[in-house]
A and B are shown apart, each in its own frame.
Chain A
Amino acid sequence: AQSVTQPDIHITVSEGASLELRCNYSYGATPYLFWYVQSPGQGLQLLLKYFSGDTLVQGIKGFEAEFKRSQSSFNLRKPSVHWSDAAEYFCAVGAVTGGGNKLTFGTGTQLKVEL
């Protein structure tokens, strides 16, 4: 069975500083990997996804993530954080099921941005 670990529950960074959120996964085959962001009281918005090909993927809002098979990691990065990036971030791995894509989520990392 697949699993996702996000080791940092809370992270605080200053506005303008760089950001890296960690994600490790466990999955028996080539994974489909995702990062979602959730603002308070809202649904999830997809930031970026990895299916195959280039291991460095670019997403929306200036985010990027790098798939490292040897480390089973898919860390999310942003070179300069904005105050509006404060939210909860979820890493997820997808399992192919009957043509669809069932997601297993990590427990999330709450990002706080100090002005």
Chain B
Amino acid sequence: NAGVMQNPRHLVRRRGQEARLRCSPMKGHSHVYWYRQLPEEGLKFMVYLQKENIIDESGMPKERFSAEFPKEGPSILRIQQVVRGDSAAYFCASSLQGPRGGTEAFFGQGTRLTVV
């Protein structure tokens, strides 16, 4: 059973371009989470999705950022018109739906975005 797969592992974008980060959850997992890790900081929650639904996007910047988890295919985190402050590691995690949500999340290797 493959783990959480993220691609690309490294992404370089010029200011103003778009960045698309992909995440394939573990087989059978219906919950996907995106986190951002800025240099020298811990991970910050961005968004939580189930298939075709955004459940909680309280950590997502209001502008330029969007996320989706379609019925078929990977989850996508999209950042439009990137700025230098978007440079960070973006991690995806997935989990099963457990009783009262008490289930662990498995993390991917991350995508390291550099904006030049």
| Main DSSP-derived SS at the A contact region | strand
Task: Give the total of B residues in contact with A, Cβ under 8 Å.
Answer: 30
Using an 8 Å CB-CB cutoff, how does the interface string of B86-103 with A read, 1 for contact, 0 for none? 000001010101101111
Residue of B nearest to A50 (CB): B102
Cα separation A100 to B55 with both chains bound (whole Å)? 9
**Of residues 71 to 115 in A, which have CB atoms within 8 Å of B's CB atoms?**
90, 94, 96-108
Residue of A nearest to B31 (CB): A100
Query: Chain B nearest CB: distance from A24 CB in Å?
Result: 14
Task: Give the total of A residues in contact with B, Cβ under 8 Å.
Answer: 27
Query: Chain B nearest CB: distance from A89 CB in Å?
Result: 11
By a beta-carbon cutoff of 8 Å, the part of chain B in contact with chain A is 4, 31, 33, 35, 41-45, 48, 50, 55-56, 91, 93, 95, 97-98, 100-110, 112
